[in-house]
Homo-oligomer: A and B are copies of this chain.
Amino acid sequence: MTKVDLRQKVVSENESLARANRARFAEQGTLVLNLVSSPGSGKTSLIEETAEQLKARWKMLVLTGDLMTENDARRIRSRGVEAIQITTGEACHLDARMVADNLLGAQGEHYDLVVIENVGNLVCPATFDLGEDLKVLLVSVAEGDDKPLKYPPMVRASSVLVVSKTDLVPYTDSDPERLAGNALRINPDLTVFKLSSKTKEGLDQWMGWLESRLAAKRQPPAK
């Protein structure tokens, strides 16, 4: 068996598990976001801010992936939201089985929103569907506005781009407009937000969009 064959086999096994996850989430009317980015782009901070604003009205669960440490789950729990840490050891991405296995403990519970924080990696998570509704790609201005051009598979796989850490714009050479433009050249269908979890600039637009997606999940599909 060649390397390519095996890779295809791993990906296709993952796809059937992802389909099962997706069916289960759909049945329960749960909105599922898969947050992907480089290490340190601000996924956990954005989840913390999101949790603070949503937790009173929507039932929320966070699955957070890292090679090691429980730090992110602890940070999120401190905001009063349920969080499960998945440690992958050496693996550079979460997969559909890890998501399914970690939801078993939460069986019976209904969630309006499941946020999956993937391992910080701008390559591997692009290939592994977890059964989410949408991949949300974060790129911080500190990484440089050329990054979408260098990692096109992740940009193509995502539905939403969050240009994060905009508070750092004055101290870097990055232009958030150019960053977004570079991403839109690869994937013109991206919904784009620019925000800072630190200063809260731009958070309202993100929250408004997320609330409208949550509300849509509650509605039966139009005939």
Chain B: minimal CB distance from A45 (Å) = 9
**Complex: A212 Cα to B168 Cα, angstroms:** 36
Are B39 and A152 interface neighbours, CB within 8 A? no
Are A69 and B150 interface neighbours, CB within 8 A? yes
Chain B: minimal CB distance from A128 (Å) = 12
**Complex: A1 Cα to B9 Cα, angstroms:** 12
**Complex: A66 Cα to B140 Cα, angstroms:** 18
Which residues of the partner chain B approach A38 to less than 8 Å between Cβ atoms? Answer: 38-40, 120, 122, 143
**Complex: A171 Cα to B140 Cα, angstroms:** 14
Chain B: minimal CB distance from A120 (Å) = 7
Within A150-164, which residues are at the interface with B (CB < 8 Å)? 150-153
Partner of A168, one of B1, B68, B168: B168
- Number of A residues whose C-beta is below 8 Å from B? 39
The answer, yes or no, to whether A54 is at the interface (CB within 8 Å) is no
Partner of A40, one of B66, B67, B143, B153: B143
Partner of A68, one of B71, B143, B144, B150: B150
Within A172-200, which residues are at the interface with B (CB < 8 Å)? 172
Chain B: minimal CB distance from A25 (Å) = 26
A147 and B92 contact, Cβ closer than 8 Å, known pairs A142-B140, A152-B67: no
Sample of 10 A–B contacts (CB below 8 Å): A39-B150, A40-B140, A67-B150, A68-B149, A91-B123, A121-B121, A121-B122, A140-B142, A142-B165, A171-B171
Given A38-B38, A68-B150, 6 other A-B residues pairs in contact with their CB atoms under 8 A = A39-B147, A90-B123, A90-B127, A92-B123, A123-B124, A142-B168
